[in-house]
Amino acid sequence: MARVYNFSAGPAMLPEPVLAQARDEMLDWQGSGMCVAEMSHRGKEFMSIAAQAEADLRELMSIPDNYKVLFLQGGASSQFTAIPMNLLHGGESADYISTGSWSKKAIAEARRYCGVHIAATTEDTKFTRAPAQAELDLSADASYVHYTPNETIQGVEFSDIPETNGKPLVADMSSTILSRPIDVSKYGLIYAGAQKNIGPAGLTIVIVREDLIGQPINGTPTMLDYKVQADNDSMYNTPPTYAWYLAGLVFQWLKGKGGLSAMGEINARKAKRLYDCVDASSFYQNPVDPTSRSWMNVPFTLASADLDETFLKEAKAAGLTTLKGHRSVGGMRASIYNAMPEEGVEALVSFMHEFERKNG
């Protein structure tokens, strides 16, 4: 079968040139006679791959020198635990902004380790917007402030970075990282599961200001201690080497595309094209406040939920897959991460027009 346009929210599409290179190197990476997955992580071949990936990520994101970049396992869900364990610093509470399903998960896990003060929540409006700065009720004794810049399920995104009056700002950027330029210096810690904009599932990136690590609470698992991971260059134990390699290929691909400024322009165009299609129609609807709409995840409903099954079936036949919305929201969701080409969005828009014409 031809390659499909896969709108999965994650694991998501990977750039085809990255897959082609991985395929070509599968039995022999650059004359080594080995697949990257077979290499000792302590050998010079993999060490060079790992170092290049970190250097490319630092360049792409302009990561300041006083930040550590960690290549970890366990997904964002493991970071939900690691963040309070590492960043409470003797404090007893943290501020969390609640904007959807993923911030709620982060909050539930943090509550097992500290007091959580909800600095703002948009649950009363069904998580269809990001709160404004003026709505934030930050507490004086919070050790840090956590938020989710992009809520993958609700398709809600912050357009500005919250101001925290000097408190370390912590962001779950699983669905935002690498989608556009980000000012890392505004953050204390950024974390992201790889399976959306970075690479395959099983790798988690943590970017953390180095003065914030080294004071974990008692009982922090060694593997969740950022200082241990930083001191060991993310090789306290065997890292997910093949995922790290694929992420490195994605970073090279992004550099070839012109970096994050170029990606930001492309992603803005892709999102606008899709929201314009939804807004120009009374057949499709998106419930999110236009100022808070995600560039990465575009949920939409059809005029009648009875048409959902037909829409999904016909879309799949047209090579447009994984469009079913999350069960908590219903309808459809088109996730359009970096690896989704503009042609894929164009194909979806054409399909949506045709589907509306036949069923509207």
Is residue 227 involved in binding a second copy (CB under 8 A)?
Answer: no
Is residue 243 involved in binding a second copy (CB under 8 A)?
Answer: yes
How many residues touch a second copy under the rule CB under 8 A: the total is: 66
**Can you read off the two tokens belonging to residue 198?**
């970075």
Q: Which residue among the candidates 68, 167, 196, 270 is catalytic per the annotation?
A: 196
Per-residue CA distances from 265 to 237, 258, 269 (Å): 39, 11, 6
Q: What does DSSP assign to residue 6?
A: E
Q: How far is the CB of 336 from a second copy (least distance, A)?
A: 14
Q: How far is the CB of 20 from a second copy (least distance, A)?
A: 7
Is residue 222 involved in binding a second copy (CB under 8 A)?
Answer: yes
Q: Which residue among the candidates 56, 95, 172, 225 is catalytic per the annotation?
A: 172
213, 170 contact by CB (below 8 A):
no
Is residue 11 involved in binding a second copy (CB under 8 A)?
Answer: yes
Is residue 195 involved in binding a second copy (CB under 8 A)?
Answer: yes
* Residue closest to 255 by CA, chosen among 117, 13, 61: 61
Out of 90, 166, 219, 290, the residue judged to bind a second copy by CB under 8 A: 219
* 132/64 Cα distance (integer angstroms): 28
Is residue 153 involved in binding a second copy (CB under 8 A)?
Answer: no
Is residue 76 involved in binding a second copy (CB under 8 A)?
Answer: yes
Q: Is 253 a known active-site residue?
A: no
Per-residue CA distances from 42 to 45, 88, 229, 234 (Å): 8, 33, 15, 12
Out of 100, 193, 331, 344, the residue judged to bind a second copy by CB under 8 A: 193
* 213/68 Cα distance (integer angstroms): 10
Out of 93, 139, 281, 321, the residue judged to bind a second copy by CB under 8 A: 321
Out of 95, 109, 151, 157, the residue judged to bind a second copy by CB under 8 A: 109
Per-residue CA distances from 215 to 65, 207, 212, 228, 237 (Å): 20, 17, 8, 11, 21
Q: Is 172 a known active-site residue?
A: yes
Supply the residues annotated as catalytic. 102, 172, 196
Which residues lie near a second copy (CB under 8 A)?
A: 1-4, 6, 8-14, 16, 19-20, 22-23, 26-28, 31-35, 37-41, 43, 73-78, 80-81, 109, 112-113, 193, 195, 199-203, 219, 221-224, 236-243, 246, 319, 321-322
